[in-house]
Amino acid sequence: MNAEVAAASVAEAAPEKKEFWRWQENTVWDENKDWRDAKIITCGIDVGSVSSQAVLVCDGELYGYNSMRTGNNSPDSARNALQGIMDKIGMKLEDINYVVGTGYGRVNVPFAHKAITEIACHARGANYMGGNKVRTILDMGGQDCKAIHCDEKGKVTNFLMNDKCAAGTGRGMEVISDLMQIPIAELGPRSFDVDVEPEAVSSICVVFAKSEALGLLKAGYTKNKVIAAYCQAMAERVVSLLERIGVEEGFFITGGIAKNPGVVKRIERILGIKQVETKIDSQIAGALGAALFGYTLMQKQAKAA
């Protein structure tokens, strides 16, 4: 038996490991519009530490996007994210007028004309998604967390980020999802299926929170109760970050965790305010903001010419 056949046999014999943390990758575009009708097409590429998004904006309006997991290098992640949507709509890179890179891998987007920080892009994206009343933005990213204040135009007026610790981030939630062996999308709803709301897990470190969660299970907590305790801890953690810059009405959450009602509702409960609702995927805010920055730059160039 050669090595390849042997490896294949082992692979067949091994039970398939379920990836509970794996969130839904998706490609969405507006089928009622044709991008060929647009005068200016801009693209925002957000290469995050966990997910990558490519957003296409036609004449300043969101046209479509692709959201997928970041690979092991930024240039390929950027290419794959964009290719994912371009293949489906029959577009080529040459059809795009301007590309802006953002996110942790923004300087490694080979076809980008400009790189802009995710802080500015999230503010701009949130302004588009939630309207000009949005003032406080919480971006709960894959491996960092940002609190941002912006004005009515989506320009940043105050920000802080925490990228030293994974507590309060998407990666932390993925770890708990795997530990509990519950699909990540079910964590939020299940966290409310408890008789009494438990105390938050005390550890803010993801590694120690994982140990603490195991300890709670051994102590007789149900899985739902452990998830509730973790969601509460995450909410308390990010609220303490938000309080440092203050929270104003017009509160908006971006990033993957915005899809987790278990965390969002608890943040709202602690802050005593509701977040601004949107129908647009919260995970694309950074890339959308980048594409909108590209559109503004194209307009400025056209005026200057």
The whole-angstrom separation of Cα 20 and Cα 179 is 9
Find the part of the chain contacting other proteins (CB under 8 A) among 18-26, 27-35, 151-159, 170-178: 151-159
Minimum distance from CB of 204 to other proteins (Å)?
A: 6
Question: Residue 249: which residues within 8 A CB-CB, separation 6 or more?
Answer: 133, 135, 273
Residue 117 · residue 100 · CB < 8 Å:
no
- If one asks whether residue 107 binds other proteins (CB under 8 A), the answer comes out as no
The whole-angstrom separation of Cα 179 and Cα 166 is 16
Helix (H) or strand (E) holding 68: strand 61-69
- If one asks whether residue 152 binds other proteins (CB under 8 A), the answer comes out as no
- If one asks whether residue 205 binds other proteins (CB under 8 A), the answer comes out as yes
Query: In which order are the strands placed within the sheet that holds 26-29?
Result: 26-29, 61-69, 51-58, 41-47, 98-102, 114-115
Find the part of the chain contacting other proteins (CB under 8 A) among 59-67, 114-122, 228-236, 263-271: 114-122
Instruction: Compute how many residues bind other proteins; rule: CB under 8 A.
Output: 21
Find the part of the chain contacting other proteins (CB under 8 A) among 3-11, 76-84, 149-157, 279-287: 149-157
- If one asks whether residue 244 binds other proteins (CB under 8 A), the answer comes out as yes
Whose Cβ is closer to other proteins: residue 18's or residue 155's? Answer: 155
Minimum distance from CB of 164 to other proteins (Å)?
A: 4
- If one asks whether residue 98 binds other proteins (CB under 8 A), the answer comes out as no
Interface characters, 27-56, with other proteins (x: CB under 8 A): ------------------------------
Residue 38 CB neighbour total at 10 angstroms: 18
Q: Read off the DSSP letter of residue 77.
A: H
The whole-angstrom separation of Cα 48 and Cα 78 is 10
The two three-digit tokens of residue 113, written as one number: 């004309």
Residue 206 CB neighbour total at 10 angstroms: 20
Quick one: residue 59, left, alpha or beta (phi over 0 = left, psi -120 to 50 = alpha)? Answer: left
Whose Cβ is closer to other proteins: residue 222's or residue 296's? Answer: 296
The whole-angstrom separation of Cα 83 and Cα 77 is 10
- If one asks whether residue 247 binds other proteins (CB under 8 A), the answer comes out as no
Helix (H) or strand (E) holding 223: helix 223-245
- If one asks whether residue 301 binds other proteins (CB under 8 A), the answer comes out as no
Residues 115-134 binding other proteins (CB under 8 A) are: 116-117, 119-120
- If one asks whether residue 270 binds other proteins (CB under 8 A), the answer comes out as no
Interface characters, 162-181, with other proteins (x: CB under 8 A): xxxx----------------
Catalog residues that contact other proteins under the rule CB under 8 A: 116-117, 119-120, 155-165, 204-205, 240-241, 244-245
